[in-house]
Amino acid sequence: MDIETLLSYEWTLMTPEFIILGMATLLSLLDLFAGKKLQHKILGYIGLAGILAAIVSLFFLIGAPSANILEDTFRLDAFAKLFKLLLLVGSALVMFMAVQYGPEEGLTYRGEFYYLLLTALLGAMMMTSSGDLITLFIGLELLSLSSYILAGIRKENKKSNEAAMKYVINGGISTAFILFGVSYVYGLTGSTRLLDIAAQLNQLTNPQYEFLLAIAFFMIFIGLSFKLASVPFHMWAPDVYEGAPLPVTAFLSVISKTAGFVILLRIFITVFANVPAKEGETSLWLVMQDYIAFLAAATMIIGNAIALKQQNIKRLFAYSSIAHAGYILVAFTVLSPFVLDAIWFYLMAYLLMNVGAFIVIQLVTSHTKSEDLGSFTGLYRRSPFLAIAMGIFLLSLAGIPGTAGFIGKLNIFMGALVTEPAHYILAGIMIAATVVSYYYYFGIFVQIFFRPAGQTSHIGISRTLVLPLIICVTGTVLLGIFPNIAYEFFFHYLGNFEDFFS
């Protein structure tokens, strides 16, 4: 590629990515050369400023027409803009937590903590805009490798070491599955561009090709199921969530899960949704739909059922996260006419209520030096604001009306019923699983408001975490009462995702 061709590309499309890349590089250099002379929390604030600058640059791009560069390997379409916004906002909230985070044994590698969060974010952002299997995989691995290190960054903590080891092993297995499936797709089409693959697969009607495509479908889906922590590929999540630093747990729960659904939607809706099967009588997606529905149902049931017995708050939220992955898989399974906006809204609601809950958990556990549910007893008397905030997040996670979580679940539930044929069993399991979740969510609620305080000392709120906590509370309530705020933004700026397939 000559210099004229290189300069002819519209590189402004990658402005948010360039900002995050530049900031991660700057933080690594500052950490390397400043050493102990620099107060490392400053690096966190610099990283936060970089994320906010990337958000501003993205808003300037939202109203611009969709475009692509580098032979369609990088796409700035409506899908990329919307999910990139979720990733950036979620990462900004997590960075506030990282700045304030201080484990009992200290954090020797404070500088790495901040710029590895940025490199993980960069990988997730690249995935949202990837129109090619290779760039999707590179973005996924950049996110994954950074996350492995972050999970084990408390080197003196045995649980953190265990979390990193289990995460690396399971991540390696998932990568092998994904590459195995991708190799079949490439072998059948000779291309790695998603749109080219879709065009060629739509013309394949040979039953032998159908069998190979089914293998590719399963292999890629299984590999990504590890990333989503969906049943039966979920067993790494509780141990990793428990051993990782709290900001990293929040990052994995929200940002990593969002990125997992991004790559799932990019590959499966673009490539497999309309592939003919059974000699053109139906589509490969409809043939595989029952298998995905079974995994979605199992994920909801097992995630909520095992959460009932958890006494560690981080493990409880790990199983809660597994269950929520099952709810989103319901929308993915049925592929209703509003699947993308339903998943986007749910992930936004989940971002607000889950990060908000983890902020409260970080404040409480750092004060009590315990991660047991008992550390929340009498929280209402020790810190009324934290108790009310946590109560709102728990109500939203449970899907109680008046919260963003309720609207998100309602959209997915309605989507399961409007398709033809309607998925009554899957919708029924979703309701039953949600009812089961009330037990452990309201168990924490009872500890906070109706149990006498085990300790009487007041739990203060760090000034650093006041703003993100207010944002999460306000967003959770506002989107529960006025969900049209989000949907009007969605449809006004981004339309109906026509550019997703072109």
pLDDT digits (tens, 9 = 90+) for 133-185: 999 999 999 999 999 999 888 887 888 888 889 999 999 999 999 999 999 99
Q: Residues 58, 81: contact at Cβ < 8 Å?
A: yes
Indicate whether 499 pLDDT > 80: no
Residue from 239, 237, 216, 240 nearest 228 by CA? 237
3-state secondary structure 429-450: HHHHHHHHHHHHHHHHHHHHHH
pLDDT digits (tens, 9 = 90+) for 84-100: 999 999 999 999 998 88
Indicate whether 395 pLDDT > 80: yes
Residue from 329, 347, 349, 197 nearest 271 by CA? 197
Residue from 51, 61, 139, 47 nearest 87 by CA? 51
**Tokens read off for 166:** 């289990």
**For a pLDDT cut of 90, what percent of the chain falls above it?**
48
Burial 133-154 (b: 16+ CB within 10 A, else e): bebbbbbbebbbbbbbbbbbbb
pLDDT digits (tens, 9 = 90+) for 13-33: 889 999 999 999 999 888 888
Beta 282-283 vs 276-277: how paired, if at all? antiparallel
Neighbours of 218 (CB within 10 A): 15
Residue from 332, 125, 122, 307 nearest 224 by CA? 332
pLDDT at 493: 72
pLDDT at 471: 94
Q: Rounded to 5, what percent of the chain is helix, strand, coil?
A: 75, 5, 20
